Amino acid sequence: MAALAEVRMGFRIQLDVDHKAVELVRHLKRSPAEVFGRPYAGYLIIMATEFDHEVIEWLKENVIALDSVTGGDVAFAVFTRKFRVPVGVRGSCAPQACLPELPLREISDECPWWTIERLVRSGKLGWLADKDELTLVTYGTDEMARAFGVVADLPCLLIIDALPQEQFDIMPLQGVDLDTLFRLIRYSVGQLIRTPSLPAFRSLAEELAFTEEQIRTAGTDVARSSAALDRTPPPQAVAELVQAAYERARVALSAGATRQFVNILRESLKAIPSDATMSAHALATEKRPELLRTDQTIRTLTHYLRECSWPLAEPHRSAYARVLNRHVVLHRESVLNLDDSVQCAEMIAALRAQNAAIVDSILQGLPTLNVLVTQAVSDQERVVESAMRRLEETKKGLDVLRARQKRLIRELGVTEYPSLSAILGKVARQERLAVAKRKVGSFAGAFAGAALSPSTLLEVARAAAGQ
């Protein structure tokens, strides 16, 4: 196993990893957004399949040098559907190679070495043999190849300028002297970064990218603020909720349900001071026996009045008499007539009045319904006004950002910048390397998630053309 690095781990495990392959993992990408996520002076993208062994091996040998040449000025990325990393446990007793596969997203591109070590230590890669292979899988190559329309051209090198256009340069890599290509890349990048106009261009591009990010954030804020305003009940609806809650509290109190009564006050009528709620709770608890007696007697008499035929027959007549003797006689001076349904209705009305008087005496220590409704409406008017003000302020901020975006697009459109494709294409042709112009298959798909959105890139191109 060539170029292996030994890592001594816990439990006397010695892990052998091809450090050159691991270094290349840092440049493997899963989607176009990972390449175009920030502005660069140019983009070099190598696309290959797992069967392009010559290209893959050359990349492993030269990835560190390529990374050093491109630096932070030119983006360098590799797309391949499957990439094999030689990895094994020295002295393993595994009967055969485990050959584990993992999605590329599970490997950190910042510290792939330590990620692989952690996966081995945790046992997630299985029982590795002495000379095993970890295959990293990503569908990024398929997505990228379809977006740029180069499915039939792999392996190839895409050469894209700082401001991607609808056309790009493509260099087939099959049969190419890759060492010569490296020399041309090093020369071209050197020429590119020495161009005097590059710093001003990159400053404008980075400012535009930052503005676009702010626009996306502000747009999200506008959508959230608008949705929040739509969900905010109007003052009249809040007034109706308060009225309904107050009525529920009164009904619960009249039935002697003091716990339910207090819960309604605390949960639905929060404008009532807590000390007033506690006082009402104490008084309701004291009056609860009277409330229960009157409410239950009302329910019983109402049953006899509505559900039974008058004059009452036995055994209903005797049961009715017991109810009156226990709960009603003491409260009336007139002679009771067990056969008089009108008198029964009058007793129900009197009991209801008695129950209502007890309820009123308890509610007397609380703010009136009118006060609660007025306060709720006033509070909700302030809430709605505040939400509308926030939405308008966010919209104004978004308008300012869009105006800045338009200004930067105009400025960027008339700013000269060096072309990586022109520099590299010229020297490549001098070396008789084939370089062709190709139209992007799907512009929106190719640059989705880019620091400069596809629509912005097209607007810059139109500004540059004077349209």
Amino acid 10: pLDDT:
42
Give the DSSP H/E element, type plus range, for residue 8: strand 4-8
Amino acid 315: pLDDT:
93
* Inter-residue contact 60 to 21 (CB < 8 Å): yes
Nearest to 311 by CA among 278, 285, 344, 286: 344
DSSP for residue 330: G
Specify which residues 42 forms β-bridges with: 74, 161
Neighbours of 191 (CB within 10 A): 16
Neighbours of 189 (CB within 10 A): 23
Nearest to 247 by CA among 139, 363, 336: 363
Question: What is the DSSP code string of 289-318?
Answer: HHHHHHHHHHHHHHHHHHHS-SSPPTTHHH
Nearest to 337 by CA among 349, 326, 347, 351: 347
**Phi, psi for residue 170 in degrees, rounded to 5:** -130, 135
Amino acid 13: pLDDT:
61
Q: Which residues of the chain have pLDDT under 70?
A: 1-13, 15, 88, 90-97, 108-110, 113, 129, 329-334, 467
**Distance, CA of 208 to CA of 412 (rounded, Å):** 9
Amino acid 91: pLDDT:
61
What amino acid occupies position 438? Answer: R
**Secondary structure E strands in 175-277:** none
**Distance, CA of 421 to CA of 316 (rounded, Å):** 103
Amino acid 387: pLDDT:
93
Amino acid 94: pLDDT:
64
Amino acid 3: pLDDT:
40
**Could you identify the residue written with the tokens 């840092």?**
26
Nearest to 415 by CA among 187, 213, 195: 195
Structural domain boundaries of the chain? 4-198+417-464
* Inter-residue contact 316 to 304 (CB < 8 Å): yes
